[in-house]
Chains A and B, each alone.
Chain A
Amino acid sequence: MEGELAHIGAGLAAIGSGAAAIGVGHVAGNFLAGALRNPSAAAGQTATLFIGIAFAEALGIFSFLVALLLMFAV
């Protein structure tokens, strides 16, 4: 029973990875929209872009970590 519940929990935790995908796409899409309006200012903001992507992705990685731990370490 515990094995099955752990697997179900892992599947639920993987929904967080989908949420991270939405977040990263949001950040990158807004950057793209701004960069197409003002290309010369876009080059200076690539650092901010990467920091934003990393923040959004980190939280998705946390939930993926939970899924992995439930699958293989519980």
Chain B
Amino acid sequence: MAGEANSESGGLEFHPLDQFEVHRIFGEGPIHWYTITNVTMWMAIAVVCIVLLLVIGTRKRAVVPNRTQSVAETLYGFVYTMVEDVTGKDGIKYFPYIFTLFIFILISNFLGLLPMAFTTTSHIAVTAILAFAVFFTVTILGFFKNGAAFLGLFWVSSAPLALRPILAVIEIISYFVRPVSHSIRLAGNLMAGHAVLKVFAGFAQVGLIVAPVAILGVVAIYALEVLVSAIQAYVFTILTCVYLKDALHPSH
């Protein structure tokens, strides 16, 4: 995405998609897989923040927790109850993976809200890897745990016999669309939110009268973005739990 406005009507310049460009941090030249780019740097910052919150925050293991430990315990308990409620008792052993997904997406989303920061999860490359990892994990797990009975997920036994082949085709298609929608939901929500922020900020260049209104708009969209960041992390995680439950107990 070049991010260039193709026509500057009336002299307004809008470049809302420039913020999603991947570029090197050190030196010049082409970007290889081992280059340190802004994506790499912000992912590393996210990992450092997660370690600071969860590992260093709970280091004292106080019975009466201080603030950081309290936040870490709240996040842990929240995801634990979610996994237990949705997948049942035998889904708990996948809790580390699901908690990793949740906390990484949450912290990446929140870090992207800082001014001049880069949102790694707004790139379809990042979210597609997360979603496809979930898809392959869940499918392979389903076949290991249930064998051929996993295909019972597509055979809707509560429907009349004549409809079952058509429903099976529909079910298979919707099963394979799952990673696509899973990834695009997260990437699209974040990219759209940040692009809207830049567009609203761009309105401030219209004139002195419009500028305060534009800034108020930016504040309102910012609040919405904080909410959307948290909700999208939650939705990604709970959908992962639902797909996991489908794999562990395939039934219709």
Q: Which residues of A contact B (CB under 8 A)?
A: 3, 6, 47, 50-51, 54, 57-58, 61-62, 64-65, 68-69, 71-74
Contact = CB atoms under 8 A, between A and B. Distances in A.
Contact of A58 (B3, B181, B234, B242): B181
Interface stretch (B133-141, B186-194, B208-216): B186-194
Contact of B17 (A57, A61, A73): A73
B184 A68 contact: no
Given A68-B17, A73-B3, A61 B188 contact: yes
B154 interface: no
Contacts of B191: 65, 68
Contact of A51 (B5, B17, B238): B238
Interface of B: 1-7, 14-17, 82, 85-86, 181, 184-185, 188-189, 191-192, 195, 231-232, 234-235, 238-239, 242
Contacts of A65: 184, 188, 191-192
Contacts of A47: 82, 85-86, 238
Nearest to B4: A72
Contacts, number: 60
A50 B5 contact: no
Tell me the interface secondary structure of chain A in the complex: helix
B231 A68 contact: no
B188 A58 contact: yes
Contacts of A72: 1, 3-6, 14-17
A47 to B, nearest CB: 6
Task: Identify the 9 closest CB pairs spanning chains A and B, nearest first.
Answer: A54-B235, A58-B185, A61-B188, A73-B1, A3-B7, A72-B17, A65-B188, A64-B192, A3-B6
Contact of A57 (B2, B6, B14, B189): B189
Contacts of A6: 6
Contact of B234 (A50, A69, A74): A50
